Amino acid sequence: MADGTIYVINPNSNADVTNEIDSALSPLRHARGPRISCITLAEGPAGIETQRDADGVIGPLLRRAASLESDAAAFVVACFSDPGIHALREQSARPVFGIAECGVLTAMALGRRVGIIAILPASVARHHRYFTSLGLTTRIAGELPVGLRVGELADEQCAIARMVDVGRTLRDGHGADVLVLGCAGMARYRSALEKSLAVPVVDPTHATVAIALGRLASIGDG
Amino acid sequence: MADGTIYVINPNSNADVTNEIDSALSPLRHARGPRISCITLAEGPAGIETQRDADGVIGPLLRRAASLESDAAAFVVACFSDPGIHALREQSARPVFGIAECGVLTAMALGRRVGIIAILPASVARHHRYFTSLGLTTRIAGELPVGLRVGELADEQCAIARMVDVGRTLRDGHGADVLVLGCAGMARYRSALEKSLAVPVVDPTHATVAIALGRLASIGDG
Amino acid sequence: MADGTIYVINPNSNADVTNEIDSALSPLRHARGPRISCITLAEGPAGIETQRDADGVIGPLLRRAASLESDAAAFVVACFSDPGIHALREQSARPVFGIAECGVLTAMALGRRVGIIAILPASVARHHRYFTSLGLTTRIAGELPVGLRVGELADEQCAIARMVDVGRTLRDGHGADVLVLGCAGMARYRSALEKSLAVPVVDPTHATVAIALGRLASIGDG
Amino acid sequence: MADGTIYVINPNSNADVTNEIDSALSPLRHARGPRISCITLAEGPAGIETQRDADGVIGPLLRRAASLESDAAAFVVACFSDPGIHALREQSARPVFGIAECGVLTAMALGRRVGIIAILPASVARHHRYFTSLGLTTRIAGELPVGLRVGELADEQCAIARMVDVGRTLRDGHGADVLVLGCAGMARYRSALEKSLAVPVVDPTHATVAIALGRLASIGDG
Amino acid sequence: MADGTIYVINPNSNADVTNEIDSALSPLRHARGPRISCITLAEGPAGIETQRDADGVIGPLLRRAASLESDAAAFVVACFSDPGIHALREQSARPVFGIAECGVLTAMALGRRVGIIAILPASVARHHRYFTSLGLTTRIAGELPVGLRVGELADEQCAIARMVDVGRTLRDGHGADVLVLGCAGMARYRSALEKSLAVPVVDPTHATVAIALGRLASIGDG
Amino acid sequence: MADGTIYVINPNSNADVTNEIDSALSPLRHARGPRISCITLAEGPAGIETQRDADGVIGPLLRRAASLESDAAAFVVACFSDPGIHALREQSARPVFGIAECGVLTAMALGRRVGIIAILPASVARHHRYFTSLGLTTRIAGELPVGLRVGELADEQCAIARMVDVGRTLRDGHGADVLVLGCAGMARYRSALEKSLAVPVVDPTHATVAIALGRLASIGDG
C-alpha cells in the first residue's frame, strides 16, 4: 500500500459537514490502509450553493492542497461540484478525485439509470453542465432538488422526509434504479434512504474514497 | 462490513489466470474486510475469445453462482466481456459487478480518454458493442489488440513488449491518457506498463473489487 | 435467386408461436423465391422473458443452426431479444438476421419515431440495452409493456385490447409515428392494430424475412 | 398482396440509369407480387450532383407522382439524396421510400459499420447532412467519392477500378464491414464489388424495393 | 465595412410579413453599415407551412438571388425552415445565412435550453429534422405550435395570447430558459413576449442580420 | 438602442492584447450604437494558459464587473476559456457573453465543421471539456495548438506562419470548413489567415460583440 494520507478536503467551512464525511468514511479505514484525513477549508463559504461559491474556493483549495502535497497519497475534493479538480491535477503529482465524478461513475456500476438528489434548484443546472462535460448524461435519469441549503440538511426529520420524497420521484417518475446523494452533507441519510426506497444509494464521498483506495493499493503493488 | 465473501469468478477454465487474479487482489485484502475468493469455472473454455465463448459460459456461471449465493456478499465476473452479468443480477440478491464495466468507469475517474488493450481483433468489436450499450463510447479513445490468445499472455517477454507497443499507440496516436487492461489475464503486467508509459493503467479486476469493497462497506454501515 | 432455405428459428419451445410466425410469412412466399422454413427450438423455454432465458437459448440455437447450415440460405432468429446473433454470425457462413434489429430498422424507414410494444416490464430494460448497443436510441420514442407473458398473448380479446391501449399511449403520449411488435408471438395482431391506430405497425419477423429475401435476391443476381 | 404498382422514380433524366435500375430489380419481380415500374423523370438533370439539382427535381417529381397516385402501391425515389421524400409523403397516401435511407438501414442489418461510395466530393457533404438528420451517423464508418459524374459511371473499366479502390479504403482504413453504393447508377457493379472486397455490398434501390415489397405484403395480409 | 446590400429574402409572398421583418431590422441600420433590403418573393406561397411549400420556393429563390448577386454583400433567407440555403451557398459567392440556424445559435448564447414557438404542428416535425441535421438537438428543450397559419399571425390579440401560452409551457414544462420565434412573421411580438415571460426571446431574422453584420464588418476590416 | 456600455473584459493583464481587441472591434462601433469599452484585468496573469489561470481570474473578474454594473449594457469575457461566465451571469442583471461560446456558435453559421487554433496543447484539453459541456462537439472538426504562449503571439512573422500551418492541417486533415481563433490575442491575424486559407476565419471577440450588439438592439426595440 502506498504511503501517505488520502486528504479529503471539504471546501466549505462547515465543520459539521466535515465530521459527517469523516464518520461516513470509517468503514473504509483499516490497519494496513492509508490514513484518511478529512479537512475543512476555513476560507470556504458555509455551503457551496452557487457557481460563485464553487469558483471562489478554488484558490484557497489549491493553496491548502499545496501545503499537504508532500504527505499526500491522493486528494479527494468533497463537494458535489468538483471545484478545482482540473487545476489541482495540474498542480499535484498525486491522484485527484472529485466526488461528483466518482459518485456518478460508481452509481453506473450499480444501476443503469442514475438519479441525483440535489440541495437547491441552482445546483441542478450547474451539475448538468458538469455531467454534460463528462459525457455521462445518457445514463442520468434526472436530478431534482430537495430545496434545502447545506446548513439545513442537519435538520434530520425534515431532510430525510424530503430526500425520500425526491428519491421516490426519481425512481418512479424518472426511472432511476440507483441514486446518488448530490451533496457531501447528506451522507448520514444514505442508509435510511436506501432502506426506504429499495434501490442502491451512493454516498459520493464514500464511493470516491473506495476508488482512491483501489488506485493506491494498485500503485502500491507495483 | 457486510458478512460473506466476494466471489471473483474467472469464467475461463485456466487456473493460471485465476491465480494471477488472486495475486493482484492481495493488496485489497485486510483483516476487517470481507473474504475475497477467486474461483475457476471448470466448464469454461481455455480463454474467452469469441462471442460464442462469452455466451457459452453463462449457463455454468449462473449455476456456480447459485451454489455460492448463501455465502456471497457480492459477485465479480472476471472476464472483460462481462458475460452473464445481467442474468446473474436477475438471479442473485447480491451486488453483481462486471470487470469491463467497472474497469472503464474507474479509468474515467483517472483520465479523460480511455485506451483499452485487448487480446485479439475479434475482442475489439465485441467490446465495442458492449461499451456502446453502456453509453460510454464518447470517453473511449480506442481499443487495440495485442494479437495474443489468453494462454499466450503467460509468455512474459512477448506479452509485455506487445502491450507496451499497443499502449503507446493508444497514448500517442489515439490520445488516451489512461489505459485499461482488456483481459483479466494481463494483471501481472499492470505495474510495468504504467511505469513504461507514464499514464495510469487500470487492472479491471482489481478496480472492480475496490468498487465492490466500497459498496459492501457502505451497506455494512447502514 | 440463391438456393437453399431461409430458416426462421423461434428460440422458444412454443409451437403455437412458430405457427403464428409461419402464417404471418405466407405473403412473402412465392414460386421463384427460397423456401422459408419456421422451426421451433425444442430446448427453449415457453417464452423468452428474462435475460437468463435469452442467454440460455444460445447454446441450443447454435447447435440447431449448425445442423441446418449446409442447406441454409440465411438464418433469422425470431425472438425480439436477438439472442445469439453475434455468435451465430461467427459460426455460420450465411447471412444472419435478428428480428429486433431488422424490425426497428424497417420501422425507421416508415416513420421518424419508433414505438415498441413489449410483453413484460423486464423486456423493456433488456431491449433498451440492446438498442443502445446498436446506436438506434435517438429514433426510439419509447417502449412500453402490455404486461402479458408470451403464453398469454394467445388470449385474443385481452391481448388486442392491451396492445391498442399501449400503442395509443406510444402514439399520443410519446409521439411515435410507427410501431413495432416487440414479440414474435404478436404477429396475428399487426393488421388490427394498424387499423385501430392509423400508424404503420411492423411485425418484426415479417420485416426481417423481407430484408433477407432482398439480400438473397441480390446475392443470387451476382 | 396489395394491388397496384411500385413506382421507382429515377429523378434524373438519364434513361440508361433507369434501365440499369430496372435490370437490378429483376430478381425482385415475381408472379404474385406487385408490378415494379421504373420511370425516368424527363425534367430532371443528367445527374443529381449538387444540392441545386436535388432541390430542383422536387417539383417535377411531385407532379409525376401525383399523376401516378391512383395506380400506385408505393413510391421509391431512386436518387441517393432522397430528394422530395418528405413532400411526397405529405402529398401521397401511399408509402414513400428513399433509397439513401433504406440503403443505409439495410446495410446496418448486414454489418456494424457502414461505408458509402459516393460519386463526387460534393455529394459527401450533402449526404452527411442527411444522415445526420436521420440520427444514423454513429453507424457510418465513412463516405468517400470515386470522383466520377453520373454519366461517367457507364465507363465500366474505369468505374469498377475506382469503386474497388474506394471500397478498399473504406474497409481497411475506416473499418467499414458493409458497403452501400451511393448512387442508383452504380447498381451494375454491386456483385463484382462484393466479390472483390469480401464484404456485403448494398445496392440501395434494390434494398429499398425489398423493404417496400415487405411492407406491401404486410398490408396485403391485413 | 464591406460594400453592398444585405438582402433579406422573405420567401413567402406575404408583403405584410416582409414589412414586419423590415421594421424589426430598423435598430440594426446605421449610417456606416451596409444597406439592409427586405424583399418579398412574389412566386412564394402565402405562408411556408408544409415541406412542399419549403421545397417549392427554392427555385424562385435561387433565381431572385442570382439577379441580386452583383450588388449583394450577403443573403439572409427569412423563413424558419431555411429553404434553399445549401443550394444558394453553392450558387453565390456571398455569405448565406438561414434564420432558423442563426436564430437557434444565438439563443444558445443567451440560455442553455432553447424553446421554439412554431406556427403549426407540421412545422415542428420539419424543424426537428433540420435541427437534428445541424447537431443541435441536445440544446433544444422543445418546440410547440401555436396552431395559427402565417396569415393568422396578424390578429394581434389572438396571436400574442397563444404565444404567451405556448412560451410559458416551454419555459415551465420543458425547462426552456430562452425562446426563439419559429416564424419570421412573429417579429412584432418579440418584445411583449419577453416582458411577459421574463426569459430572452430571439427574433430569428434580427439575430441573423446581427451575425451577418458582424461577418461583413469582419471581412471589411481585412 | 439600449443605453450603457458593452464592457469587453480581457482577463489577462496584458494591455497589448486589450489594445489588439480594441482595434479589432472598431468596425463594430458606430454613432447610434452603444459604447464598446475594452478593459484589462490588472489582477490577471500575463496570459491564461492553464486551468489554474482560468479559475484564478474569476474572483477579480467578478469584482471588476460589479464595479461596472450600473453603467453596463452587457459584459463580454474576452478569453477563449470563458472563465467565470456562469458566476457573472448569477451576479449581473446584464447579458453576459463568452467569446469561446459565441465564437464557435458564429462559426457554425458559416461552415459545417469548425476548426479551432489554440495557443498551447494544454488549452486543447481545457477547451474540449468546455465544448463538450456545451453539447457542441459534433460540429467541431478539431483543435490544434500553435505552441506559442500568449505573449509570443506578438511576434508576427512566427505567429502567422504557425497559424497558417495549423489552420491548413485543420482544413485539409480534419475537414474543417471554417476556423476560429482560439485566443483573443490572435485577432490581428484573422484577415491574413482567411486570405491564406480561403475559408472563413472567426475572431471570437469580434463575433461575440456582434451578437451582443444584436441582442442590445433587440432589447432597445422593445
Tell me the chain D residues in contact with residue B128 when contact means C-beta distances shorter than 8 Å. Answer: 112
- Whether B112 has its CB under 8 Å from any CB of chain F: the answer is yes
Average pLDDT over chain E, rounded to an integer: 95
Give all strands of the β-sheet with D35-40 in edge-to-edge order.
D35-40, D5-10, D72-77, D96-98
Half-sphere exposure of C79 (CA within 13 A, CB side): 33
Interchain contact E196–F (C-beta under 8 A):
no
* pLDDT band, very low/low/confident/very high, at C219 (cuts 50, 70, 90): confident
CA distance E217 to B215: 59
Predicted local confidence at residue F1, as pLDDT: 46
ipTM of the complex: 0.96
CB C176 within 8 A of CB C197: no
Nearest CA in chain E to F213: E210
Mean pLDDT along residues E172-177: 96
Q: How far apart are CA F181 and CA F197, in angstroms?
A: 13
| Least CB–CB distance from D32: residue in C30, C97, C219 | C30
B86/A contact by beta carbon, under 8 A: no
* C35-60 pLDDT per residue, tens: 999 999 999 999 999 999 999 999 99
* Residue B15: per-residue pLDDT: 96
pLDDT the model gives residue B32? 80
Indicate the angle between helix axes C156-168 and C190-197, nearest 10 degrees: 40
Rounded to the nearest 5°, which phi and psi values hold at B74? -165, 160
Q: Is residue E195 exposed (0-12), middle (13-18) or buried (19+ Cβ within 10 Å)?
A: exposed
Kind plus residue range of the DSSP H or E element containing B39: strand B35-40
Contact between chains at D133 and E132 (C-beta distance less than 8 A): yes
Residue F165 is inside which H or E element, if any?
helix F156-168
- Any F CB within 8 A of D121 CB: no
Q: Which residue of E has its CA nearest to A138?
A: E138
| Cβ neighbours of D129 in F, within 8 Å | 112
Asked if pLDDT for residue D209 goes beyond 60, the answer is: yes
* Rounded distance between C-alpha atoms, residue E176 and residue E169, angstroms: 9
Q: Amino acid letter at F29?
A: R
Q: Which chain B positions have a beta carbon within 8 Å of F128's beta carbon?
A: 112
Distances in Å between the Cα of C9 and the Cα atoms of C14, C29, C39, C131, C150 are: 12, 17, 5, 21, 16
Q: Answer yes or no: is pLDDT of E31 > 80.
A: no
Q: Which residues of F23-39 are buried (b: 16+ CB within 10 A; e: fewer)?
A: ebbebbbeeebbebebb
CA atoms of C137 and C204, how far apart (whole Å): 17
Interface check for D129 against chain F (CB to CB < 8 A): the answer is yes
For chain A, say whether F130 makes contact (Cβ under 8 Å). Answer: yes
CB atoms A210 and B214 under 8 Å: yes
Percent of chain A having pLDDT more than 90? Answer: 93
- Sequence-distant (6+) residues with CB within 8 A of D107 are D114, D178, D179, D180, D200, D202, D207
B68 touches A at CB < 8 Å: no
CB C77 within 8 A of CB C184: no
Sign of the dihedral defined by the CA atoms of residues F33, F34, F40, F41, in that order: negative
Banded pLDDT at E217 (limits 50, 70, 90): very high
Which residue from A minimizes the CA distance to C138? Answer: A138
- Of the ranges C110-119, D55-64, E30-39, which one carries the lowest mean pLDDT score? E30-39
CB contact under 8 A, D62 and E51: no
What's the pLDDT score for residue E1?
46
Which pLDDT belongs to residue D1?
46
Q: Over range C163-171, report the average pLDDT.
A: 98
How close is the nearest chain E Cα to the Cα of D32, in Å?
A: 35
Residue E178's beta-bridge partner residues?
E114
Name F87's Cβ contacts closer than 8 Å, sequence gap at least 6: A50, A51, A52, A55, F58, F62
Show residues of chain B in contact with A27, CB under 8 Å: 1, 217-218, 220-221
Which residues have C-beta within 8 Å of that of residue C79, sequence separation ≥ 6? Answer: C10, C11, C12, C48, C54, C57, C99, C100, C184
CA distance F112 to chain D (A): 9
Q: List subunits contacting chain D, requiring 3 or more Cβ pairs under 8 Å.
A: B, C, E, F
Question: What backbone phi and psi angles, to 5 degrees, belong to B145?
Answer: -95, 150
Q: Residue B51 and residue C90: Cβ atoms within 8 Å?
A: yes
Q: Which pTM does this prediction carry?
A: 0.96
Predicted confidence at residue B221, as pLDDT, reads 59
Q: Is the pLDDT of residue E114 over 90?
A: yes
Average predicted confidence (pLDDT) for chain C: 95
The nearest alpha carbon in chain B to C122 belongs to B90
How many Å apart are CA D163 and CA D153, to the nearest integer?
A: 10
A20 contact B CB<8A:
no
Query: What distance in Å separates the CA atoms of residue F202 and residue B127, rounded to the nearest whole number?
Result: 40
**Cα–Cα nearest to C206, from C187, C185, C183:** C187
Which of B153, B179, B184, B189 lies closest to B83, judged by CA? Answer: B184
Which residues of chain E does A128 touch, with a Cβ-Cβ cutoff of 8 Å?
112
Give D1 to chain E, closest Cα distance, Å: 31
Of E105, E195, E218, the CB nearest to F222: E195
B129 Cβ under 8 Å from any chain F Cβ = no
Q: Percentage of residues in chain D with pLDDT exceeding 70? A: 98
Strand pairing category for A201-202 and B35-40: unpaired
Q: Within 13 A of E182's CA, how many CA atoms are on the CB side?
A: 35
B203/A218 touch (CB, cutoff 8 Å), yes or no: yes
pLDDT at residue D108 tops 50: yes
DSSP-derived letter for residue E177 is: S
Cell numbers at residue F211, please?
451578437
β-partners of residue C37 are C7
Q: Which residues of E touch D59 (CB under 8 A)?
A: 55-56, 59
Per-residue pLDDT at E222 exceeds 60: no
Cα angle C62-C65-C67, degrees, rounded to a multiple of 5: 115
Beta-sheet strands, E only, within chain E? 5-10, 35-40, 72-77, 96-98, 114-118, 140-145, 178-181, 201-202
Residues of chain F in contact with residue D125, where contact means CB-CB under 8 angstroms, are: 112
| D136 vs E: CB within 8 A | no
In chain C, DSSP assigns E strands to: 5-10, 35-40, 72-77, 96-98, 114-118, 140-145, 178-181, 201-202
Q: Does B66 touch chain D (CB under 8 A)?
A: no
Q: Which of A110, A192, A217 lies nearest to residue B27, judging by beta carbons?
A: A217
Reported as a pLDDT band with limits 50, 70 and 90, residue C30 is confident
Q: Does E35 touch chain A (CB under 8 A)?
A: no
Antiparallel, parallel or unpaired: β E114-118 and E178-181: parallel
What would the mean pLDDT of B32-58 be, rounded to a whole number? 96
Nearest-Cα distance to chain F for B216, in Å, is 33
* Separation CA B213–CA B215 (nearest Å): 5
Q: What percent of chain D has pLDDT over 90?
A: 93
Region D187-205: mean pLDDT is: 97
B90–chain C Cβ distance below 8 A for any pair: yes
First-residue to last-residue Cα distance in chain B: 10
- Chains C, D: CB pairs < 8 Å: 123
pLDDT tens digits, chain F, 222 residues: what are they? 457 999 999 999 999 999 999 999 999 998 788 999 999 999 999 999 999 999 999 999 999 999 999 999 999 999 999 999 999 999 999 999 999 999 999 999 999 999 999 999 999 999 999 999 999 999 999 999 999 998 899 999 999 999 999 999 999 999 999 999 999 999 999 999 999 999 999 999 999 999 999 999 998 755
> Is pLDDT of C1 > 50?
no
The fraction of chain E above a pLDDT of 90, given in percent, is 93
**How high is the pLDDT of residue B1?**
46
CA of D109, closest CA in chain C: separation in Å?
Answer: 6
pLDDT of residue A32: 80
Cα–Cα distance, B66 to B43 (Å, whole number): 15
Over residues B11-23, mean pLDDT:
96
CA–CA min distance C178, chain A (Å) = 24
Chain A: list its partners (3+ Cβ pairs within 8 Å): B, C, E, F
**Binding partners of B (≥3 Cβ pairs within 8 A):** A, C, D, F
A222 and B30: CB-CB below 8 Å?
no
The model's confidence at residue E71, banded by pLDDT at 50, 70 and 90, is: very high
Show the low-confidence residues of chain A (pLDDT under 70). 1-2, 221-222
